[in-house]
Structure 1
Amino acid sequence: MIRTRSLAAAFAALLALAPSARADPLALRVGWLEARAARPPVLSNLDPAPEDLGLAGARLGLADNAASGRFLGQRFALSEVVIPPGEDPLAPARALLSETGLLVVSAPAATLTAIADLPEAEGALIFNAAAPEADLRGAGCRANVLHVFPSLAMRADALMQFLAARRWTELAMIEGTHEGDAEWAGALAAAARKFGLRIRGREVWDHASADIRRLAGQEAPLFTQNLPAHDVLLVADEQGDFARWMMFNTWEPRLFAGSEGLVPSAWTPQAEQWGASQLQSRFRALAGRDMRPEDYAAWAALRAVGEAATRAVSAEPGRLRAYMLGPEFELAGFKGRPLSFRAWNGQLRQPIPLAHPRGLVAMAPLEGFLHQRNEMDTLGQDAPESACRAFEGGNG
């Protein structure tokens, strides 16, 4: 009986201290703004983009926030706006900003920047959930934008750490001609230099007239025959246009990495450790499919809002931003290490999985790649390298 009374008293004291005891619960509304871009035609329909790509992750993040918010006296809501290709995104963005100062944006880089520069976005907090371009985190950064999607440099550095650790130092590269291929190839080349690897040959696949699905056994050997000797063949084919048919059809038997083979990404269905299996299961129950990198980024944005609101006890975007960029913010991201935001450019620090279609190979940063503050800052631009000036020189 004494034990029962003690537990009851402790529980009553906990309830008295909890935020749910407040008369006015904390209410947060987050806006989801998706500006869809027209995708170029590709040869394969094996990997169609889901209609709810990204949005399903935001919905799971909302559900996770609501689960903890019921006890903590918080209410979360999500306003969803999806803009078809070719339509102006700025008017819907203004309307959404009139409802909330918290936006998760899935849009091309130029659209994201235009939204961030709206007068209505002054004082808002915007999360970039899809654009990987370096300039958004560099000279083109905006103080009201935090990046939950990893940069191309983070993904490329993760891959090059792995290749350097394996001492596969001699590389060749083939890049496509679709939007994004050249920038991904540039990020891979920069990361190779950073970690002391050599790209000995670099070619562009521009055989638009060749149906590589039928002619891979003829085209790929000829195309790769004159590449210099290399350990690994890098491919920059972000649309999935040609690289999958080149595997096992090259002149020399070589490993593939980049956009095909061993792929660095924000998230992979092959992740199972650190509670990732549970996150995957909950996502499948909600969306009926595997979680993709865009889904993970959107989920992380919603969870970052929920975590910051709980700790800062505020729904005000400015206070949430200040807390997220501070040293106390941590987000459990199911990747083995707590996630946090870089104070100098607003990028979410996060481990990068390296996986092939049947399994997880490694999680970067790898052991041995050291940093004076945080080993995750070995992925992507570090503070001394950053051209971002909107964050007032933060180095946290």
Structure 2
Amino acid sequence: MRFVLTALAFCVLPLAGAAQTDARIHYLQRAVPPPPTLSDLDTPPGDLGVAGARLAIDDNATTGRFLGQSYALDATRVAADADLAAAARAALAGTDLLILDAPADDVLAVADLPEARGALIFNVAAPDTNLRDADCRANLLHTLPSTQMRTDALAQFFVLKKWTDLPMIAGGHASDQAFAASMERSLAKYGLKPGPRKEWRFDANMRRNASAEVPLFTQGFGRYDALIVADEIHDFGRYILYNTWEPRPVTGSEGLTPVGWDRVVEQWGAAQLQNRFTDLAARAMQPRDYAAWAAIRTLGEAVTRTGATDAATLRAYILSPDFELGGFLGRPLTFRAWNGQMRQPIPLVHPRALVAQAPLDGFLHPVTELDTIGLDAPESRCEAFAP
């Protein structure tokens, strides 16, 4: 499926003397069927991600029309069994600015295309920490927080609360296992000892059996401070809450959850962004929508400041100390020059409210506290960004 969205200036003349600047951006998405889960309550919206891109194009146009700038968004959705590389080559033939909504393997495959060597690609869907580490690419930036950024944020909360006894239940999906491994690394990073870990392997209908199965499954943990659930596909975690043997907080993929964005974020002007997104998409903004919005707003800010639209100039500015983006998260958003990850606070939420936002008070850093979550420069094995 292919469609074109264009935001141009209508009825408003650009400032006198301003040169016309046209930026074309391509949103390339791999259609990934959701894995089977125990509940069908969380069907992903059909416009996930691209709706955030559409809003950002509108936002860029609001400023751009006064500066002689126009923004066009092409969007291509590639079936799960189709050739993403071919679609990427076609997209790159029209622009060197690409928003990529795809799993990690696809992200690397596209970034490594000869046609992409001089492009600027934003990863808005793959949280894999390795893409910001040893598998980084010089032409690849990330506006979706990494899994480690999210687990570091949760570990900071545990330290603040003095919760030290932290067992975990991990699902069998690859993303569940990645979250569990990252959580254990984050606990160690902040001086906490990972607790006992159980693997969830039930295939029963938990909607009927949760009250009987979960207490027995969690009884062996004994007494503890909080339970961590690694269920990134949202399969079984919802049945853990209020069914554990010990009445304790549930955290991780359910309960208290670290996210890139959530509808309960309302401070710092976020309610205005939430309302505009709801008007456009008739639903709440999700983390992938926010990542796509931030990617295109990053490009808009860079075009405004540099007056250029080529990937090399924009990349250099985005990674420079001069760049910052207002992202409705209470702090300016910038990019790590050593691996291309966008620095961003991580909200810790439950379904009805924002509980806290990392980095939390007391976690200090010589440059910016935002670098206490995720891979800091000394931790990173990324070599592609070396000067």
TM-score, scaled relative to structure 1: 0.93
Partner-residue secondary structure (3-state), 1:391: coil
Q: CA deviation at 1:148?
A: 0.5
Q: CA deviation at 1:228?
A: 4.1
The answer to whether the aligner puts 1:379 opposite 2:367 as a matched pair is no
Give the corresponding residue for 1:278: 272
Give the corresponding residue for 1:207: 202
User: Structure 2 residue aligned with 1:117, among 109, 112, 124?
Assistant: 112
Q: Which runs of 5+ in 1 are unaligned?
A: 1-17
Give the corresponding residue for 2:145: 150
Give the conservation status (yes or no) of the 8 Å contact 1:269–1:290: yes
Give the corresponding residue for 2:127: 132
Q: Which runs of 5+ in 2 are unaligned?
A: 1-12
Larger radius of gyration: 1
Give the corresponding residue for 2:32: 37
The CA distance in 2 between the partners of 1:282 and 1:38, in whole Å, is 28
The CA distance in 2 between the partners of 1:333 and 1:306, in whole Å, is 13
Partner-residue secondary structure (3-state), 1:33: strand
The answer to whether the aligner puts 1:107 opposite 2:87 as a matched pair is no
Give the corresponding residue for 1:67: 62
Give the corresponding residue for 2:295: 301
The sequence identity of aligned pairs, in percent, is: 54
Give the conservation status (yes or no) of the 8 Å contact 1:37–1:86: no
Give the conservation status (yes or no) of the 8 Å contact 2:14–2:65: no
Write out per-residue CA displacement over residues 127-150 of structure 1, whole angstroms, 9 at most, x where no aligned residue: 000101011001110000000000
Partner-residue secondary structure (3-state), 2:349: strand
* Superposition CA RMSD, Å: 1.1
User: Structure 2 residue aligned with 1:310, among 304, 311, 323?
Assistant: 304
State the AA in 1 paired with 2:268: W
State the AA in 1 paired with 2:77: V
Q: CA deviation at 1:20?
A: 3.5
| TM-aligned CA distance change 1:200 to 1:228, over 3 Å | farther
The CA distance in 2 between the partners of 1:144 and 1:102, in whole Å, is 10
The CA distance in 1 between the partners of 2:300 and 2:34, in whole Å, is 33
Write out per-residue CA displacement over residues 208-230 of structure 1, whole angstroms, 9 at most, x where no aligned residue: 2x111100011001100111431
Partner-residue secondary structure (3-state), 2:323: coil
The CA distance in 2 between the partners of 1:358 and 1:286, in whole Å, is 22
The CA distance in 2 between the partners of 1:169 and 1:224, in whole Å, is 17
State the AA in 2 paired with 1:152: T
Write out per-residue CA displacement over residues 102-122 of structure 1, whole angstroms, 9 at most, x where no aligned residue: 000000000011001111101
Give the conservation status (yes or no) of the 8 Å contact 2:226–2:250: yes
The CA distance in 1 between the partners of 2:17 and 2:34, in whole Å, is 49
State the AA in 2 paired with 1:391: F
State the AA in 1 paired with 2:90: A
State the AA in 2 paired with 1:246: I
Give the conservation status (yes or no) of the 8 Å contact 2:232–2:253: yes
Q: CA deviation at 1:47?
A: 1.4
Give the corresponding residue for 2:190: 195
**Pairs within 5 Å for 1:76-87:** 76-87=71-82
Q: Which runs of 4+ in 1 moved over 2 A?
A: 18-24
User: Structure 2 residue aligned with 1:159, among 143, 154, 158?
Assistant: 154
Give the conservation status (yes or no) of the 8 Å contact 2:18–2:68: no
Q: CA deviation at 1:163?
A: 1.2
User: Structure 2 residue aligned with 1:181, among 176, 179, 185?
Assistant: 176
Q: May I ask how many residue pairs the two structures share in their alignment? A: 375
Q: CA deviation at 1:242?
A: 0.6
The CA distance in 1 between the partners of 2:148 and 2:36, in whole Å, is 26
Q: CA deviation at 1:286?
A: 0.2
Q: CA deviation at 1:23?
A: 6.2
The CA distance in 2 between the partners of 1:249 and 1:182, in whole Å, is 22
The CA distance in 2 between the partners of 1:19 and 1:329, in whole Å, is 24
The CA distance in 2 between the partners of 1:176 and 1:352, in whole Å, is 23
Write out per-residue CA displacement over residues 176-222 of structure 1, whole angstroms, 9 at most, x where no aligned residue: 012300000011111111112222210000112x1111000110011
User: Structure 2 residue aligned with 1:222, among 216, 220, 226?
Assistant: 216
The answer to whether the aligner puts 1:58 opposite 2:58 as a matched pair is no
The CA distance in 1 between the partners of 2:382 and 2:14, in whole Å, is 37
